[in-house]
Amino acid sequence: MKSNRQDKILELVATHDIETQEELATLLKENGVKVTQATISRDIRELNLTKITAENGRQKYIVLGRGDSEGGRTQRYARMLKEAVITADTAKNLLVIRTNPGMASVVGAAIDALGLVALVGCLAGDDTVFCAFKEEEDATFALEELQEKMNSAAEEKSTRKSRR
């Protein structure tokens, strides 16, 4: 039962722009799955769903890193970073990232998932992420890496648009 429900949630998230748990519950009920809000909340956590800002400016759920190839996962993180990050700068051994409101936790998770070797840890609020590194040069390198990933995501997006 649980695995069937979670499979249906993954299918719905992949095929619909779902902004709220209530929208997800409605879609599940339309597909014959009875579920409580508490169960949906637990499933969202277990399935590692997160919200990003869609092209229309609204929030939507996505699956963060489940079943992707390493390259696909890295590209997804790069797109999330490009959409969410407003500014990034270093302060000694810290990387300080300002994001769109509500997106800091997504950015922090994406940075954690990038596997930067010298990263000690990330702390995310609502619109700011602090990343601590062992050394000052590690933070500088991470900033360059972040900017490179965001630039590659921007290039990929413009390439996709020009093909249309």
Q: Which of 37, 65, 68 is nearest to 52 (CA)?
A: 65
The average confidence (pLDDT) of the chain is 84
CA dist 24 and 38 (Å) reads 12
pLDDT tens-digit series, residues 12-66: 988 888 999 999 999 999 999 999 989 999 998 888 888 887 777 788 888 765 4
Note the pLDDT of residue 62: 84
Confidence check: pLDDT of 10 > 50? yes
- The whole-number average pLDDT for the span 139-158 is 80
User: pLDDT tier at 116 (50, 70, 90 boundaries)?
Assistant: confident
Confidence check: pLDDT of 140 > 90? yes
- The whole-number average pLDDT for the span 90-116 is 87
Q: Which of 2, 37, 1, 31 is nearest to 16 (CA)?
A: 31
β partners of residue 62? 50
Confidence check: pLDDT of 160 > 60? no
- The whole-number average pLDDT for the span 110-131 is 87
Delineate the domains of the chain, giving CATH numbers in brackets. 2-63 (1.10.10.10), 70-163 (3.30.1360.40)
